[in-house]
Structure 1
Amino acid sequence: MAPPPSNPHRHTQQLCFVLPILLLSSVAAESTPSFSSHCPSPAPSPDLHTDANDTNALLEHFHFSPGFFSGSGASNLFMPGISGYFSFLPHAVSRTADPAVIHLSSATLTLFGKRAEEHNGTLGFGSYERIYDVAVSFRLDGYYSTTTFELCMVGTGTDTDGPVKRYADLALRLRVPSKPSLVDPFVAGHLEGGVDFETVYLVTYADGDVYKYSEGRATCPAEAATTSARGGFSCAALRSRLLSEYRLRHAQSNSSSLPRLHEPAMIVNQVHCAANGAVRLYAVFSNDVMPWARTNRFAVENQAVVAEGFWDAETRRLCLRACRVELAVSYWSSAAEKLEVRECGIGMSFWFPAVWTVRDRSATAAMLWNGSQAASGDAGVTSDPITASAFQYIIRTTTTTTNLSDVKYSYTQTFLDTATRHYLNANKKTKASFPGAYKFSSYRDFEFRFFADNDEMVRERGQAYPVSIGSAMVDGDELAAEYAFSRHAAAEMKQSRLVNISYGILFQFTAFDRPDCSEIKAEGVYDTETGFLSMLGCRELNVSTDCKVLITVQLTSLEESQPSGHGKGRISSLRDKTDVLYFESRNITLYGMYSEQVSESIWRMDLERIITLASSTLSCAFIVLQILHIKRNRDAALATSITMLAVLALGCAIPLALDLHTLLANRDKQFVELSGSAGLLDLQELVQRAPALIAFVLQLRLLQLAWAGRLSSSHHHRSLGSERRVLQVCLPLYLIGAAVTGVIHDGNSRSARKDPLFGEDPGTLWGALASYAGLATDGFLLPQVVLNAISSESSSARALSPWFYVGGTVIRVTPHVYDVFRARRYVQSARPSYVYANPRDGLFGSAAWDVVVTCGATALAFLLFWQQRPGGDVRRTKTGGY
């Protein structure tokens, strides 16, 4: 039987279908790097079915903590000298036919760093460099050997910052210990590519629950017993307290038992623990004692330790055995591959002090000693151990997880006596409502921020927060602090006028563009009836502690409404001027708001939103009434001033344009900062501008009707001549006002540049001109009054409806009246938020100017009423009208 005849069209269709697949396969083969050329080992093996539980366990093994990267490739990708971090996220993994090989078929490596770009400044400030965050991602596929602990993967990378840039033919080689241990705790390796990608070195602390603890438990020395706060073991709470930066105190004789660990600060940035109380951690030692927020990120320093141990439930301490870690080579060099674990004879202990004093307020304390004698059975501490205490302001950044309710504060009597003596010698205010004396007081009312006055070119500012009030601890967890205040401190302040109090004061200053920070721990007495605070404090210096610092503060009463907010104070030294620790006194100005004032401010902003919405809605109604008035009276369109309607339309358009600019500038964000508001408002605020948009459209319709009425009249030439005369009178006034606004704005900008930290923000020139446009809109009746004065027919025609000009005047005057009321009724803060009647919208920003504008707008409305009343035109002509 003969074969069926072939169908040439069918073969053609098959060829057209197969060719694209072959082409795509060849392109994919060219773009995917060859595994065998980059990863000779481990050898690939066929995948096997892997159940869900096994897959999850394998994925957990390859889930690393964010790590550190460096090398020449890092300097080419990101800004050199600024460290970044990387993350490694596995997506799919399976076992293979080779039991010693695991296939990690999909994973993402992401490098996070910073880049800089030049920007041209505005208002004559020149160009500046903007530093921003950027990430470069790599998609990888490879195999892991459980015998050699080598992970080798190949793939491609993508840089989406600016024009998309792709990196092909990349290989990642990592050593991932199967069971990390004290002497083998790191995941390290490098990422390398072709000619356009230089090597990037990676290292991180091994994550996951699979960890091999050493045999035997680490012990804490008996002679170093301390009083620790109550509470059992909690992995989450322990981790949140240990992750911090610690100030180290070495022996005064400089004969520390650990001479290699001589840095002043220790940062614990990796903590892992198990349910049975086992704990392991990684800590670095640094010469930088500034509390930069870096405690949750893996770092590489010259000296570091890895430690492991267990929580001792009896003594409520964490006992650890530690090993010193050093860089094999400087990790910024191209030869760096790993960190080396060397000396393992270091003992570490952490505990949580149950009693705080003015000198020691550590939520977490630690000690390091030479534990090499432990091998011979001696668990004692050698001479001159290193003690450590967590920076208190680092703890305050995690107050939601730091419960200090079981910590007691012990006041120092000599400090209280000195503070009381200076309190008795001070001139205090009369009785008023101060924090602690009124019903709705909160411990937050005792917090304040301040800036210092000095004659040097140094900018100084700070913040003060209460640690304890009476017997109540008000530091730490917010809920526990509020409960302790209302339960104990508030009752003690009602029973006694003079209450013991302790503070933590952070003092930040900038000299020659170099920021620095210091802390003062103080305690003293507080008068609930006069709001006077007198304290004696200690400040930490490089090699000593100065405990003769006097802090006196006079708080502002709740009834006062001054821009200073909380009041004024003074920080001075009680030492002789010849003493090396003496410093010049500083007057401080406090700013902030009390809790009742904050609630009142929120209520005020809600009220202002309602007023704004009501004003916009009423404006629409008044414009509609004027449109109906023009349609009913044909002569009204001819007698209405086009200049006045143009000014009103411009006054409606400018706020909408500013809001649109804000929206476009923040189109990738979920919030915008509206013009004139110091707070971040939701996009829903723009929806509230809908009535303003409707008013603008109606205003354009009114302008179109008036213009059409002019052109359809037989007397339009005469009316246009009158309108030109109105422009000749009004336009120079508007231009002079704009020039004056520019001069005032320039003067405010110069003043702000002299005091860039605390000077009032002058805003932009566009913002100043927008404020002036609002002022011109306040006097929107001026062109109509001028037109009526030069043309008697305009007044006789009653161009404007009383609803329009009286209602419009009321809408324009109400913000100024409200501004005067608000300035006297509400307490201003350092960063006030205004939704309605921003004081900066005034040309001079004063209450007197608000009164002047109100009187001027009212006078124009009264003058227009007099012009449009029957018989109000004293120059009645014979024509009787147009």
Structure 2
Amino acid sequence: MDYLLSTLLFLLAMSSFNHVSSFASLPPYKDHCGSIVPESTATELTRNSFPFDDHHTGYFTGGDGIIDGGTSSYQYLILQPFSIRATEFSDLFKVEASVSLATSITYYYPVGNFSYGDRLRHGGQHRYRRRHVRFNLEGFWSESSGKVCMVGTGSGYSKEGKHLNLHVVFKLDNVFNVSTITTLVSGSLVSLSSQKDESFEPISVLMFPKRNYNYTLDSTEVANEFSSGTDTAKGGFSLNSLSFCSRPLSREIKGLQLEFSSECTSSKNCTPLSESSGQLPSLMSLKGIECSLDNNKHRLRVMVRLLNSSDYWVGQSFNPKNTLVGEGWWDEKKGMLCVVACKIMAKASSLAGSHVRDCSIRLTLRFPSTLSIRSTSTIVGQIWTNKSTHDTSYFKKIAFNNGEDARLGIFQAPKYEYSLLEKVKKSCPTQKPMKNKGKRYPDVYSYDLRFDMKVSESNKRVAWGNSYPFAIGDEVSSSGNSFSNTTVDVPEVKLNSTGGLFNISYKISLWFNSTNVSKSLLNQSSLSVMISAEGVYDVGAGTLCMVGCRGLISNSLIPTAHSVDCEIVVKFQLPPVDAKNGIFIKGSIESTRKSSDPLYFKTLELSSSAFYIEAAEKVVWRMDMETIMVLISTTLACAFVGLQIYHVKKHPNVLPLLSLVMMAILTLGHMVPLVVNFEALLAQNPKKKNFVFGTVGWLEVNEIAVRLITMVAFLLQFRLLQLTWSSRKSDESNKGLWLAERKASCVTLPLYAAGLLIALLLKSKRDGDILVITPVNQHHSSWENLKSYGGLVLDGFLLPQIILNLFSNMRENVLSCSFYFGTTFVRLLPHAYDLYRTHNYAQLDNGSYIYADPSADFYSTSWDIVIPLGGIAFAIIIFLQQRFGAHCVLPQKLRGSKVYEKVPVFAESEAEVETTNL
């Protein structure tokens, strides 16, 4: 205990020494900061309100040479004060702090219409850590001038990987105790190294003070401007239950889509940005800097970024040219956020000297209480200016919404209002609710109503897509993914007419992989189509019939408010939950317009595999049962081989009469799975995990146990093959057995070759692959067919022994009854199980078969009858041959003449072997 305590004290002392030494080796303060903030002797620690938090975040640009950055990175700075000490002067304070620079390079890869970011860790692209640099600083802060100057040291790596000892000076302006919207803390971090290889590009810094902030833009005149706005519909967001500052609204809302006036053809008078490249921004994000409750009023400081879609999704470093900063408050009566925003003015090459001006921009954001097929956005708002039309800063009103991203987070879900149900009645055939005739279809609230799909036009695949329920009855999904209710017993949902019909709304997204499709269906600016639909779902029949609306986007690249085409009918037919065959969702998207109409498009055919949750649960149970069956079958195979080994040990004279071909077939039957799945014997390959069942850990353990038992069976079977071969080699004088084996092989191998050809033809005819085999799946199909025929050969493993018995005219009990009947039972049991599985489970092609795998043998209703009958017949023939002689199964005319020859045996007796001329 004393040793541990001493070690702990030593480590604390060392860390303190390192902290002190890091400041002891600082560059001289007077040489670099004396003219900016004078130096003074520090006295005691003070609780003076330094205008930065313990971890204050800011933004920076530059730093090339010590940190990886660029336009594809998100660069940020963290200022962490250690101590604030008073000095001999009342407005001068000594500051010890650290500054950390970090970049987060984000790579986005497209998945359909969405993008998902994956932050790349250092090491995958760079050998050295160049995404985080930390400096220990010491200096002084002048409260009256608002200036901070500090010197310090840090360490980093060059691009070549060389370790660098860095000396820097850090300067800040406008660091006041009290701040307003116009207070921006800007500064720089500059290298003091005289050596070129240890210096770096100057860094510009910008921060927003948070402590002691005064809201100054909220006034009666400004409030009147929001009251006179055109969009005054009350929102659906309430603050009764949770605090405003705990909502995501106080953090960041991303991906808001901008919609400009149709008159906007360029950035002139259409964007609030001071400088523009000529292209209008298309996306906006709103991030909360600080949130507080002041005089029973929720207030929020926000930062608004306006970006192009190409810049938005690949990441972008802080740029004041496309950023607005503002103050907002929540209007409880109208249920909306009101924001007064200002422009940030900065130099083209530096953030230093940035300042705020022109607070004429207004922004409102609200959450509609009611959604419809033409308005499915859960976040809407407007941006405008109070400038006159003649002012150079004037711009036309801009609308924004969250587009197709209807996720609400923890916000209250609004209600859905149907507007096209009368049109649904005309477009969809009138049908009475079908009575349940033993078939069950997915529940209206189940996750089974979400599905991906293949889209075809004129029998040619042109796109893929997905669809999910947006609303059931008047209830909107609270997350865009699922509903709060899981059963149909929900009072809020009103049935259309009877207990089997439900009003339902859908979101359908299509992504086209080719431009060789109907141009009228595509948005001219992209290869994607989003359809909102509403209609009726019949639970009793599994039918969905809806009227859809698609957005019509102009050829212009400018994002403007667009009209919709609602002359679309969408239909789906879902299979029963307990269907055994044909578990596919079929559907169509049709245009009800005339073929001469410019908006007319050819009918699109939709199809999707229906893998229901209930079916998935049954499959998991089936896989569990199949694993147990494999364990039992493989254990029985080990036992039967062991009994045969015991039989030949007890009767060694029968060993030479065993068929080497049969022994080789059985040995290979156990060896091939071990060789193919050797990697799985040690550890599961994560690349081959099934999406649905890949996380079932106990299943992986059972698979390893199966392979271990298979290895035991292989070793026993190989031992039996070795004993047979050794007995043959040691009995060289008995040439008759080698001759009989050769003759049997000459008959068996051509039979196998002919059987392979016939079986492949039959299987190809059944699968419809005789004439249509694509180069992509040809190799896979050939391998599967070869595996299937290998299983068929194993099912008839007794055939080589039967033929050898005929040529050698055997009369001994070569095989034990338990071996040939037991092994036959083990080989034929999967076919009996397949008959049961076919009538009780849906046929799937997802790699979930553990026992009676269709790719490892011939499985169908006919094969499951023919193969067991053949296997039983072979076992009966062996039984008759061993009891009445090998030729008892042949007609009398084919039994031939008997020839006897003496064969010397190393024992003192002679054995008489009877051979026959066939």
- Please give the range of the TM-score, normalised by the shorter of the 2 chains: 0.7 to 0.9
- Measured after TM superposition, the shift of residue 314 of structure 1 is 3.6
Per-residue deviation, 1:727: 5.0
Deviation at 1:356, TM superposition (A): 0.6
Q: Kindly provide the amino acid, as one letter, of the partner of residue 305 in structure 2.
A: V
Compute the displacement of 1:358 (Å): 0.9
Kindly state the Cα deviation for residue 174 of structure 1 after the two structures are TM-superposed: 7.8
* Change in CA separation of 1:158 and 1:866 when aligned onto 2, cut-off 3 Å: farther
* 1:101-159 deviation per Cα after TM superposition (whole angstroms, max 9, x unaligned): 32439x6846546699xxxxxxxxxxxxxx99646524644326554377865313499
1:422 is matched with 427
Q: Aligned partners of 1:752, 1:49: CA distance in 2, in Å?
A: 87
Check whether the contact 1:175–1:189 (CA below 8 A) recurs between aligned residues.
yes
> Structure 1 41/311 Cα, relative in aligned 2: closer, same or farther at 3 Å?
farther
2:278 is the counterpart of 1:267? no
1:506 Cα deviation after fit:
1.2
Does the 8 A contact of 1:325 with 1:341 survive in 2? yes
Match of 2:155 in 1: 155
State which drifts further: 620-629 or 736-745.
Answer: 736-745
* Counterpart AA for 1:452: V
The corresponding residue for 1:28 is none
Cα RMSD for the two superposed structures = 5.5
The answer on whether the counterparts of 1:38 and 1:171 sit within 8 Å (CA) in structure 2 is no
Say which is worse superposed, 34-43 or 248-257, in terms of deviation: 34-43
Structure 1 gaps of 5+ residues are: 1-31, 117-130, 374-381
In structure 1, the residue matched to 2:227 is 222
**What CA deviation, in whole Å up to 9, does each residue of 1:170-201 have, x standing for no partner?**
67888788689755679997899988899789
**Contact kept in structure 2, 1:279 and 1:309, CA below 8 Å:** yes
Structure 1 residue corresponding to 2:527, chosen from 510, 516, 522: 516
For 1:693 and 1:733, the matched residues in 2 are separated by: 33
1:780 aligns with 2:790: no
SS at match of 1:442: coil
1:87-486 matched pairs, under 5 angstroms: 99-104=93-98, 109=102, 112=105, 134=125, 137-138=129-130, 140-143=134-137, 147-148=147-148, 154-157=154-157, 168-169=164-165, 182=181, 210=211, 212=213, 214-217=215-218, 221-223=226-228, 224-232=231-239, 233-239=243-249, 243-254=253-264, 258-260=270-272, 263=280, 265-268=282-285, 270-274=287-291, 276=293, 277-288=298-309, 303-324=322-343, 329=348, 343-371=358-386, 385-392=397-404, 394-396=405-407, 401-405=409-413, 407-412=414-419, 415-424=420-429, 431-432=435-436, 442-455=445-458, 459-476=462-479, 481-482=484-485, 486=489
Higher helix proportion (structure 1 or 2) = 1
Pick the structure with greater CA Rg. 2
- Which of 792, 808, 824 in structure 2 is aligned with 1:791? 808
CA distance 1:493–1:203, shift in 2 (3 Å): farther
Q: What is residue 605 of structure 2 aligned with on the other side?
A: 587
1:47-62 to structure 2, matched below 5 A, reads: 60-62=54-56
Q: How does 1:532-571 map to 2 (within 5 A)?
A: 532-543=543-554, 544-558=562-576, 561=579, 565-571=583-589
**SS at 1:570 equivalent:** strand
1:487 is paired with a residue whose SS is coil
Describe the superposition over 1:456-482 as per-residue Cα deviations: whole angstroms up to 9, x where unpaired: 976311111112222333452767532
TM-score (norm 2): 0.70
Structure 1 residues 625 and 450, CA, compared in 2 at 3 Å: closer, same or farther?
A: same
Residue pair 2:320, 2:344 contacting (<8 A) in 1 also: no
Alignment partner of 1:707 is 2:722:
yes
Supply the distance in 2 between the matched residues of 1:677 and 1:853 (Cα, whole angstroms): 34
Q: Is the 2:365–2:382 Cα contact (8 Å) retained in structure 1?
A: yes
Mark the CA change 1:459 to 1:231 in structure 2 (over 3 Å): closer, same or farther.
same
Compared CA separation, residues 590 and 699, structure 1 to 2 (3 A): closer
Once the two structures are superposed, residues 701-721 of structure 1 have per-residue CA deviations (whole angstroms, 9 ceiling, x without a partner) of: 342244235425652564555
Q: CA deviation at 1:571?
A: 0.8
TM-fit CA distance, 1:532: 2.7
One-letter code of the match for 2:227? A
Assess if the C-alpha contact under 8 Å between 2:136 and 2:153 holds in 1.
Answer: yes
The one-letter code of the counterpart of 1:634 is P
**Shift of residue 357, structure 1, vs aligned partner:** 0.9
- 1:637-652 equivalences under 5 Å are 637-652=655-670
Structure 2 spans left out of the alignment, 5+ residues: 1-22, 88-92, 110-121, 142-146, 274-278, 389-393, 517-524, 555-561, 889-894, 901-910
2:522 alignment counterpart: none
Distance 1:649 1:481, change over 3 A: same
Note the C-alpha offset of 1:350.
1.6
Cα deviation digits, residues 597-642 of structure 1 (max 9, x gap): 3333333333333333333333333333333333333234333334
The alpha carbon displacement at 1:216 in A equals 3.8
- CA 690–591 in structure 1, closer or farther in 2 if over 3 Å, else same: closer
Q: CA deviation at 1:275?
A: 5.1
Deviations 1:558-603 (A, max 9, x none): 1673665353221122233333322222111133233433333333
Matches of 2:371 and 2:778 in 1, distance apart? Answer: 42
2 CA distance for matches of 1:777 and 1:828? 24
> Aligned letter for 1:784?
Q
Does the Cα contact within 8 Å between 1:448 and 1:464 map onto a contact in 2? yes
Distance 2:913 2:329 in 1: 101
Query: Which residue identity does 1:317 align to in structure 2?
Result: M
User: Using the alignment, how far apart are the partners of 2:564 and 2:456 within structure 1?
Assistant: 22
Q: How far does residue 508 in structure 1 lie from its aligned partner after superposition?
A: 1.5
Secondary structure at the counterpart of residue 495 of structure 2: helix
Distance 1:355 1:821 in 2: 52
| Residues in 1 aligned to 2:206 and 2:674: alpha-carbon distance in whole angstroms | 53
Residue type of the partner of 1:315?
A: K
Distance 1:150 1:372, change over 3 A: farther
Comparing 224-233 and 765-774, the one that deviates more: 765-774
**Partner Cα separation in structure 2 for residue 656 and residue 298 of structure 1:** 53
TM-score (norm 1): 0.73
Quote the offset at 1:728 in angstroms.
4.9
| SS of residue paired to 1:656 | helix
Equivalent pair of 2:448/2:612 in contact (CA under 8 Å) = yes
Segment drifting more, 849-858 vs 201-210: 201-210
- Give the 3-state SS of the residue equivalent to 1:359 in structure 2: coil
Q: Aligned-pair distance for 1:411?
A: 0.9
Q: 1:637–1:327: structure 2 CA closer, same or farther, 3 Å change rule?
A: farther
The question of whether the paired residues in 1 share the 8 Å contact of 2:60 and 2:76 is answered with no
1:438–1:881: structure 2 CA closer, same or farther, 3 Å change rule?
Answer: same
Q: Distance in 2 between matches of 1:651 and 1:166?
A: 58
Q: Is the 8 A contact 1:189 1:202 kept in 2?
A: yes
Which residue type is aligned with residue 853 of structure 2? N
Between the aligned partners of 2:41 and 2:795, the Cα distance in structure 1 is 78
Q: Is the 8 A contact 1:771 1:842 kept in 2?
A: yes
* 1:822 maps to 2:837: yes
* Structure 1 residues 316 and 736, CA gap change in structure 2 (3 angstroms): farther
